[in-house]
Every structure is written in structure tokens, then in C-alpha cells.
Amino acid sequence: MVLKIFFPRCCNSADSGLLVGRWLPGQESAVVLAVIHYPFIPGQVKRYLSELQAQSQVELSVLGSWSMPKEGQEGMESFLKDLSTIFPQDRWLQLSRGAGRRGFACQLVERGGGSAQDGGDGGGDSDGVIFVHYDQRKVMLSQLHPPEGGGGANGTAEPSELRLVFQTVARSQPLFATDQYDDGPLKVTHWQSEGREASIIVELTKQASVPLCALLTWLLSLWTRLCRISLFNMWPVRFVTSKLSTCVQLSYRTDHLRTVSSPKKASDHMEFMRKANIFVSFFVDVALGLLLISWLYRANRISRLADILVPAADHVAKELQELLQWLMGAPAGLKMNRALDQVLGRFFLYHIHLWISYIHLMSPFIERILWYVGLSACLGLTFALSVLSDIVALLTFHIYCFYVYGARLYCLKIYGLSSLWRLFRGKKWNVLRQRVDSCSYDLDQLFIGTLLFTILLFLLPTTALYYLVFTLLRLVAVLFQGVIHLSVDFINSFPLFAMGLRLCRPYRLAEGVKFRVLSEEPGKPLHLMMEINPLKYSSVLQWYRTPTYSCYPKDSWVALCKKLFVGELIYPWKRKGTKTD
């Protein structure tokens, strides 16, 4: 059986003392966490380890002795070897390193004084011992993710040896709380021996975050009470707010701020990363919004935008008028039903006339409306984009109405023709059983069915042409809104903190480890270096992407084309779990 000893690089030059760590359960492996320097009192060491076990919830113990001979300490190695009687263990490691030598000498003493494995300069069975050196700082701060296709860290499967190593180092944080500047009876060497990693800015931020979170929680509670007023819960108001992108984004950001300002400490790594990603995303969103405000209110750009917006909407309406007049004639030389063509054309022209009148009525107030709407960018760029999406929806509302009218009329004729076609084949649709059954019809029913089928069939080309034109116009507006919504969704869901962590400190998000040979000499233990293999950027995006209200249909292209062919309405704002009308 090969004995693997995970040894921290920071202890390679530590003074002689005791090895503190843990034997991994079910594995022939030991994890060395720190070295307690000589001189020490054994009773103080036992009391110190018992206090650490209560804080870290890890079974820490004295694994053995570490000998680093110096001048005046010739008998130190024999003294440390005798400590195995004071710290009774089933197995006692005796590690030593000579001056100017790279490798270690290792001896494993079983209970009873027998030497099970011996490796080093003195010969013996050195092939049975492998030293795995690791960077304790990186292992301490990293989070080992399961491999692709594997179970999670909290799964029911037995944890692997590497995962036990990472968990042991991570849960031993109280052991690393002391450094060389702390006054105490014990001097310990570990990854923070030269001074704990801390910053005065970080500490001040932690102190200031407590009252700031309390204030934010109080403001959110006031906002929640305001939203619960019966006036805002009435059906018309609730229906309109559910369709406005700005209201949806406001609700979404409110939930995120409630999550970030929660006084409850993150219970695990994923919850901490979610809070960090939300906070960074909100900070960047507000920063981009402030940049947009500084650009809008400089050089009188709001007035220029208002001067462009009204003529643009007027121009679109006039282009639609010319398009309808072209459809009321003989478009592309097609033979249309004259009566139906004139009725549909005049119907849609009347709607465009109403829309032009509405635009001219609102034109004096457009600049003031845009001025106040621009202030919404102080809440974030996503709010400005959501407001832009709602403005586009309002400016193209007449196109949406034309699309709904044409789609309903076209869908009615398609379903009527399909029903009458079943009549010719002696079949009918069974509503109760939701299937097509055979049926016998008399002569009058067949005559009326034939007459209706002929009328609908000859009126179909005219209706289909109007439906096709307005569907294409509607898809152009939907495509523009879709780009805006994708931008908002990207800002809300992109894990900026996790990506920054992966870029600046790749060891924090570990996908696995790789080993590099440090020393391989005959008659001596094998020395390996364990290096952390960071997560891929695609895996970081998959693991830490913040869930959003993604409002785009998950239908395939075939299902989408089928809906367009039969005339079913397509609502791009419908979310999961909602039904279309």
C-alpha cells in the first residue's frame, strides 16, 4: 500500500516541531496542515488542538514529528521521536530534511514501535511513500467543482481523496488564524505565518456594510408595503405592469437587492457567489446608467432626440399608408377580392389616421417625457433599456394591432377550411375525446359546407396577403425588442464577479488538479507538486450564471413556423408558466 503525504510548501523550511494534520478516513493518506515549533509544552499542544477541533469541526491531531537540524540541535530528532509516547497515535510519522537537501526522509512507526515503511537517505522501502506538495494558500481559497457529468459536492456519492484534502484544508481555517506576530505559548508555521491576509479597506467596508444593509432593507420594506396597496393590485394595473418591461425589471432588481441586503450569512459557496455576482452586476449596471445620463444631458441631446423621434414615427405611419394603398390595388399583379380588399384597407387606414393624430397630440410633450425618462438610467442601464423597449412597444402599437387583426382573421379562415375539409371526407372533430371520428352528413349539410368552403377558399389569398405583410412588420419590431431584452438579460445574468475571479485568481475556481514531478531519485520517496487546474470560462458561465426572467419562447424553429403558418399569435414577452390568450 502506497502512503501519500500531502505536505504544504510553506513548511519546507520550517523549524523542527510537531506535524499537525489529519489522517484521511478510508484512505492511506495524511494531510499536513501546520508545524508547531519547538519549544512547546505537550499539555498546551493538546489543549490547543482540542479548541481547534471544536471551532473547525475537523478531527485534527498530531501526525508525527518534523526535524530540520540546525546548529546546537543535534539531539532534536531523537527527542521528537520520543514524543510518540506522549501523543499516542496508531501511526506516527517521522519526517526529516537535511541541510542543503531537497528530499525528505520519512519513517512511519506503527503502534508498538514497529517501522512499517522507511524511506530516505538511509535506504529501505522508499517506493511506498509519495510526498505530494501543495500550495496551502491556493487550496485554502479554492473551491473544487465536480467534473463534467459528475455529481455535486453535496451528492450521496463517497467523496474522493482530493475532495477530502480540499475540505480538510478549507475547514481548518481556525488553525490559520494565528501568525508569528501573535503572542502565545505556541509558534506555528502555515500559509499565513508571515501575517494574515487582510486589508484595512476590506475591514472598513465590512463595518460599513452593516448599517448600509439595514438602511437598504428598511427602504425595501417600505417599497414592498407600497406595492401591496390595493390600488396597484387591481386587475387593469396588474395587467399593464406585467406587460411593461420597466416594471418587470424593477421587480427583478428589487428581489436581487433583497437578496444582497439580507443579514443572513451565505451558507455555502454557491450562495456567496450568487450574492457577489448580483452585487457586482448591480454596481456595473448603475455605473453604465450614470455614463448614459452624462451623455444624454450633455450638448442638449434630449431635445435633438425629441426632434428626431416625432418625425420618425410620422414617417413610419405615412409609409404604412402607402403600403396599404398599394395593397388595395393590385399588389405584384395579384388578383385580389375587391370588396374584402377595400374593407380591410379602409379599416387599417382609419387606424393609421388615429395613430397620426395621437402622435401630433403628444408631440409638444415628447421632450419633457424623454427628459424624465432619461433620469431612470440612474437606476441602471437595464432600466434605460427597459424604458426604451416600452417606448418602442408604444410607438409600434398600431403595427401590433394590425398583426392581431390579420392573424385572427387568417386563423379563423384556416380553421374553418380545415373543418370543412373534414366534412368532405366524412369526418368530424370530437371535442370530448380530442380526436377525429367518422361521421355521416346529409345533403343539405354537404351543400352548405361546400358553399362555405368555396367562399373561404377564394377569400383566403386576400386575407393571407394582409396577414403576411403585417406579420413581417411585427417580426421586425419584435426583433428590435428582442435585441434590447437580450442585452438586459445579459447584464442581469452575466457572472461578472466569477469571471473576474477566474481571470485574476484562477485558482479560486478549481476544476481539478494536475501533478508535476519534483524529485524522482532511486532509493528516495517520490516528490510531486499538486497544481490547481482552473475552471474553463464556459464552465464558469454555466455554474454561476444568475437565473433571470428570460422571456423568450423556447419553441423550436419548426414549432415557430407552424404557429406562423396557422395564424397563432406569438407573444415574445410570455414567460415560463404563463398562458397565451
- Confidence at residue 37, expressed as pLDDT on a 0 to 100 scale: 84
Q: What is the mean pLDDT of residues 97-119?
A: 67
Q: What is the mean pLDDT of residues 402-407?
A: 91
> pLDDT higher for 385 or 572?
385
Query: What is the β-pairing status of strands 129-134 and 526-534?
Result: parallel
154/270 Cα distance (integer angstroms): 12
124/506 Cα distance (integer angstroms): 40
Q: Which range, of 216-225, 275-284, 498-507, averages the lowest pLDDT?
A: 216-225
Q: Which range, of 83-92, 366-375, 524-533, averages the lowest pLDDT?
A: 83-92
> pLDDT higher for 568 or 572?
568
> pLDDT category, 497, cuts 50, 70, 90?
very high
- In percent, how much of the chain has pLDDT > 70? 83
Mean pLDDT of all residues belonging to the chain: 80
526/520 Cα distance (integer angstroms): 5
- Confidence at residue 291, expressed as pLDDT on a 0 to 100 scale: 92
Instruction: Note the helical H segments in 396-442.
Output: 397-424
Q: What is the mean pLDDT of residues 343-369?
A: 86
> pLDDT higher for 1 or 493?
493
Burial 50-63 (b: 16+ CB within 10 A, else e): eebbeebebebbbb
Sequence-separated contacts (24+) of 113-120 with Cβ below 8 Å = 116/91, 117/3, 119/524, 119/525, 120/96, 120/524, 120/525
> pLDDT category, 31, cuts 50, 70, 90?
very high
Q: Which range, of 104-118, 289-303, 313-327, 435-449, averages the lowest pLDDT?
A: 104-118
- Confidence at residue 143, expressed as pLDDT on a 0 to 100 scale: 86
Q: Which range, of 24-38, 226-240, 293-307, averages the lowest pLDDT?
A: 226-240
405/119 Cα distance (integer angstroms): 87
> pLDDT category, 156, cuts 50, 70, 90?
very low
> pLDDT category, 183, cuts 50, 70, 90?
low
> pLDDT higher for 126 or 267?
267
Query: Tens digit of pLDDT for each residue in 45-59?
Result: 888 888 888 887 788
> pLDDT higher for 373 or 495?
495
- Evaluate if residue 423 carries a pLDDT over 80: yes
Q: What is the mean pLDDT of residues 216-232?
A: 71
Answer whether 345's CB lies under 8 Å from 327's CB: yes
> pLDDT category, 578, cuts 50, 70, 90?
very low
* Domain ranges across the chain: 3-189, 199-494+551-581
> pLDDT higher for 521 or 155?
521
| Measured CA angle at 457 (ends 452, 461), to 5 deg | 145
**Cell output for 454:** 368555396
On whether the pTM is more than 0.85, the answer is: no
Domain covering 3-189, topology: Cytidine Deaminase; domain 2 (3.40.140)
For the ranges 172-186, 259-273, 453-467, the one whose mean pLDDT is highest: 453-467
- Evaluate if residue 488 carries a pLDDT over 50: yes
Sequence-separated contacts (24+) of 288-295 with Cβ below 8 Å = 288/380, 288/381, 288/491, 289/377, 289/378, 289/379, 289/380, 289/381, 289/382, 289/383, 289/384, 290/377, 290/378, 292/374, 292/377, 292/381, 292/384, 293/374, 293/375, 293/377, 293/378
DSSP string, 89-121: -SEEEEEE--TT-SS-EEEEEETTS-EEEEEST
> pLDDT category, 6, cuts 50, 70, 90?
very high
> pLDDT higher for 260 or 152?
260
> pLDDT category, 122, cuts 50, 70, 90?
very low
- Confidence at residue 409, expressed as pLDDT on a 0 to 100 scale: 92
> pLDDT higher for 354 or 578?
354
Q: What is the mean pLDDT of residues 71-88?
A: 66
- Evaluate if residue 316 carries a pLDDT over 60: yes
> pLDDT category, 430, cuts 50, 70, 90?
confident
Of 48, 41, 175, 28, which is closest to residue 90 (Cα–Cα)?
Answer: 28
Integer angstrom CA distances of residue 189 from 93, 109, 136, 180, 208: 18, 24, 11, 8, 33
- Confidence at residue 180, expressed as pLDDT on a 0 to 100 scale: 58
- Confidence at residue 82, expressed as pLDDT on a 0 to 100 scale: 67
Q: What is the mean pLDDT of residues 344-371?
A: 86
> pLDDT category, 288, cuts 50, 70, 90?
very high
- In percent, how much of the chain has pLDDT > 90? 10
- Evaluate if residue 29 carries a pLDDT over 60: yes
Query: Tens digit of pLDDT for each residue in 184-222?
Result: 678 888 887 765 555 556 566 666 666 767 777 777 777
Query: Tens digit of pLDDT for each residue in 503-557?
Result: 998 988 988 889 989 888 777 888 899 999 999 999 999 899 887 755 445 566 7
> pLDDT higher for 412 or 430?
412
